[in-house]
Amino acid sequence: MDKRAEMYIKSIIHYIHGKSQYGSVVYAYDVVNEHITNLGAGGWGRIYGASRNNVFVKNAFQFTHEELVKQGKRGSVKLFYNDYNTYENTDAIIALINYVNQGRSANQWYCDGVGMQMHLDVNYPSVNAVGNTIDKFKNAGFEIQITELDVTINFHRNSGHTLENQAKYYGDLFKMLVQKKKGGANITSVTLWGLHDGVSWRGERRRNGSNGGWANCMPLLFTDLNTPKAAFNEVINAAKS
């Protein structure tokens, strides 16, 4: 399996940066995804076991790093570990990335940083909890990217939250991100996970627990392509702060 991983990873990197005309637009890779949160799940877990600091994770970053060096691209392409619920598993993720980079100097790490998926709800987590996680990643020396951001209302139950509550949450979240970046956190990207509520993977109506009702989760900044929500204005105002 080590050899299969090496062949696959290096073949992909070789093609993108050695053969494809689009290699110049690739500036980062999500090398390993959701290992900590889905510990032991899937084929990799069945073969390599459910240890958090797992050799197949380190191998994946090492193989990617080696082929990028060979292609002369490592200086311009960053490598990330990506996961959801990072505010619940912060210390384990830091330990994993430190394990991947063990024995390497800071300017030659295999893993440059962490991708925070951030599928959030106005109920949970708090903006402060997300900020505390960013502080820990900053102190560990990691580059930080917000990779899959959306904020639902009434996702788990009909809690009575409104679009105004969502707008405030989005605004507070982006004000915090701006503040953290100004304070030295190396936040280099924020990606919203979808164009509008109508095409969001979390935008469909979901059953509200025991009461059997339904609620539209409405997680993004636009209702449709032509209709910005109050949350959009809050994000724009926060970005200007």
Residues designated as active site: 34, 148
Joined together, the tokens standing for residue 119 give 């599928």
Cβ-based burial of 177 (10 A; exposed 0-12, middle 13-18, buried ≥19): buried
Alpha carbons 65 and 151: distance in angstroms, whole number:
34
Backbone angles phi, psi at 34, to 5 degrees: 65, 30
Helix (H, G, I), strand (E, B) or coil at 46: helix
The answer to whether 182 and 226 have CB atoms below 8 angstroms apart is no
What residues have CB less than 8 Å from 82, skipping those under 6 apart?
A: 30, 32, 33, 34, 114, 115, 117, 147
The answer to whether 111 and 101 have CB atoms below 8 angstroms apart is yes
Alpha carbons 229 and 237: distance in angstroms, whole number:
13
Q: How many CA atoms lie within 13 A of 198 on its CB side?
A: 8
Helix (H, G, I), strand (E, B) or coil at 183: coil
- Kind and range of the H or E element at 192? strand 187-192
Joined together, the tokens standing for residue 77 give 């392409």
